[in-house]
Chains A and B, each alone.
Chain A
Amino acid sequence: MRIEIEIERSNPAEGQPARFETFRVEVPRHITVLDTLIKLKNEVDGSITFRRSCRSAICGSCAMRINGRSGLACDTLVEDELHRFGHLRVQPLAHMPVMRDLAVDMQPFWNRVEAVNPWVETAPEREPAWPVERETLMDQAAVDEMDDTSKCIMCMACFSACEVSDVDTRFLGPAALAKAYRVVADPRDERKQERLTALNEVGGYWDCTRCNQCVQACPKDVKPMEAIVHLRREAINAGLTNTAGSRHITEFIKIVRSEGRLNEGRMPLKMVLSDPKKLLSVLPLAVDMLRHGKLPSPIHPPIPRVKEVRRIMDKKAK
């Protein structure tokens, strides 16, 4: 079939700003975006620049934005894209400076991964000397718990898709946090508490808005957002309850328990009352909302069958 592909091209270091270039090319029906790019590079314009290595969705080299969605070029079929969008447009990943055309500077991504100290840490005295006589014993269930996160190929697609990363450069992003959970969940790791504490700060697991973009972008079904939710749960279980995020969750649960539903008026009060600075900062907003009749009343009775709600919650907690 004859197709049209638009490629965003640039070479900032040599003074060429981004522009789209359109190529028309004859390709077989069952072809990937990567093979199309390779064909163009070979036959039409050798200067089209992109990364590739395995061509089988395992090395993580070839992630780019394809019709606006971040994903692997080697596991995206041209036909599917055309079918869905009617056109084919490729651009470099977001949130990283472009080196050239579709190749970005990966450093911002790797800095985030390194920031979570992503290795299993054993106390030096327990590191076995060579020759190593035995392995650690582990249940397959523990392996399964790490199954999703350990599939990550560090392709950066999720980081490019992440909505918080659009606005906050401090956010560690989905892949780094998924990697953090991979180590936190590892029974061999001896720094769990330390890790959870470190990531309880700005940029850590509370800063995700759960927009689910990372889950959709991920070619390996790592489900970074779910890993982030797991981290939050582990943190609360580990007694890390001093953050707005964890308070939000605990207060949320308390309110639902006592009233059988969320009380939109009480919730914000609970969140700010323990923090005088925060209280002062949101006061003008609250007054403003009250004036416009937008502040819900914090006082209303529990729903009639609140006991049932509590029973369900108790059962779930078990």
Chain B
Amino acid sequence: MTMISHDVVIVGAGLTGMRAAIEMGPGVDVAVISKVHPVRSHSGAAQGGINAALREEDSWESHAYDTVKGSDYLGDQDAIEIMCREAPSDIRQMEHWGVIFSRADDRRIAQRPFGGAGYPRTCYAADRTGHALLHAMYEQVMKRRVKVYTEWFLTSLIVENGECQGVTVLDMASGELVAVRAKAVVFATGGYGRVYLTSSNGLVNTGDGMAVAYRAGAPLMDMEFVQFHPTTLKSNGVLITEGSRGEGGILINAKGERFMSKYAPNAMELASRDVVSRSEQTEINEGRGVDGCVLLDLRHLGRDKILERLPQIRDLAIKFAGTDPIEVPIPVRPGAHYSMGGIKVDVDGATPMPGLFAGGECACVSVHGANRLGGNSLLETIVFGRRAGTAVNRYITGRAMPIPGDHHLAAQRDRIHTLMSRSGGERGNLLRHELGTVMNTDVGVFRDEKGLMEAVAKAREINDRAQSLWVMDKSRVFNTDLTEALEMQNVAELAQTIAAGALARKECRGAHYRNDHPGRDDANWMKHTLARWTPDGPELSYSAVTVTKYQPQERKY
């Protein structure tokens, strides 16, 4: 059994993880661990853009107001203010680090309108903003020679006396389990879209970090808030960016009606995502859909504009939906897209567990509250990645390297040995399909008590079954059958917290919509849900929302 040490271990090499690593001082021995090569991280899939009030006519206060409103008043306003105030500087820093942003006529960074925003403040790099940011960030990681362990899979957190002292990982190439001890650990492991059957997320977004932290005792916050993106392709959930609506794309139903005029007469297609997704689902449920979808029409933008501004979107639609948006509308439907919930952290990324920090989509600060605005999560990764880095630098100063026992690794060896030695049983992917279907139907765009009770029970049952999966592959070398089984255990763990939180929350807020409890209920529910792991499933408690200057109002677009 191997034990290595680094002052700081960062798990996750998406935008958040790499940004945090870069922030470590030169004297700090930091290592980044990732189950995929950094540039394969899902940050690279983000298309539309990243928000900041860069222009004199705009202001961070207005960005903050839009974000608070978008969050349906569940976002913590102190955190939102920090993010919006620091955004312009972080974007400009990324620009100096080499990000190739699209440019406006005055040669400054170009900005486009995005849903829920009162000003066009979404910076972009054509329709591949995440890719541009991710590759530039990795360039900086190469430049600074940050140590990266690629294709190391996180299996558990090492906790002694309530303090986080490192992680255990599976080195996928060799099949060896490794304990990495550290003075501080940062989780930046991304979202959990793959808990659902239809999702815009890549196959790697299984919420591993959240599940591992949760099992180790760190609380998860606001897990019931899952954003459904209004425009995902029917075939495989691949996303059609909101930028396509920002550029003027419209949504129509089977009758050719621009139905958003009924639901959000002012903002229309650029209303907040939860509003658009529910409008689409209503159209579909009431029989005005087309084969379970509605249509995104870009034709009126014309060939030139589509080719110039949305080339990648056109490629995706041709390849995965078999339609050329220059000629025909694209069939789209809502799909699980973004995890508002995550490991509870403060504005410096610190979790309630000493030594454990988190940032990005796996964390909940909370800046997105009940509903994230497009362009705010890429922003969150760099602002809070940086802030977590700074806080970790402070935390480790003068701190000795912990000396955890061997039993952490031994426990993981037993766990994996048990999985590997089974020669029959359920296959993870079938179970995953079963879970995803339940989550889609009962914990989806519309929810009610009956469905949620079923979902809670089902998630619990599936979680039990997930403990005895059948791993067919018996090799030690790059065993992806094994890592997929571990991922299945993680999604099953998280599904329980999502369903339990949703069942308890008897109101409608942001992305959480209860048919049986219409309307937002600020008197009883303007509070965060906290879920803690117990042997009998999640135990829920609540904490207050921080309000600075924006008093709750009705959210209308």
Contacts and interface: CB of A to CB of B under 8 A. Distances in A.
A122 interface: yes
Dominant secondary structure of chain A at its interface with chain B: loop
Contact of B45 (A54, A100, A137, A138): A54
B407 interface: no
B90 to A, nearest CB: 8
B321 to A, nearest CB: 9
B339 to A, nearest CB: 17
Contacts of A106: 37, 150
A135 B92 contact: yes
A146 B477 contact: no
A143 interface: yes
A245 interface: no
Interface stretch (A39-47, A235-243, A271-279): A39-47
B89 interface: yes
Given A11-B477, A75-B319, A188-B96, A46 B471 contact: yes
Interface in A45-64: 45-47, 49-61
A133 interface: yes
Interface stretch (B98-106, B209-217, B269-277, B489-497): B98-106
A139 interface: yes
Contact of A46 (B86, B103, B478, B481): B481
Interface in B75-103: 86, 88-93, 95-98, 100-103
Interface residues of A, number: 62
Contacts of B150: 106
Nearest to B86: A131
B236 A119 contact: no
Interface stretch (B135-143, B255-263, B445-453): B135-143
A136 B143 CA distance: 20
A125 interface: no
A119 to B, nearest CB: 4
Given A46-B427, A143-B102, A100 B477 contact: yes
A135 B95 contact: yes
Given A45-B472, A46-B471, A139-B107, A128 B477 contact: no
B517 interface: no
Contact of B236 (A13, A49, A55, A99): A55
Given A47-B474, A56-B316, A128 B92 contact: yes
B421 to A, nearest CB: 15
A130 B93 contact: yes
A84 B450 CA distance: 52
B68 interface: no
A154 B92 contact: no
A139 B41 CA distance: 30
B284 interface: no
A14 interface: yes
B550 interface: no
B102 A41 contact: no
Contacts of B69: none
A30 B475 CA distance: 32
8 contacts: A13-B477, A41-B480, A54-B42, A77-B319, A135-B101, A136-B96, A143-B100, A150-B135
Given A57-B316, A60-B40, 19 more contacts: A14-B477, A30-B235, A41-B481, A49-B478, A53-B36, A53-B202, A56-B45, A57-B319, A59-B36, A130-B93, A133-B89, A135-B96, A138-B107, A139-B107, A140-B110, A146-B100, A150-B132, A154-B135, A188-B98
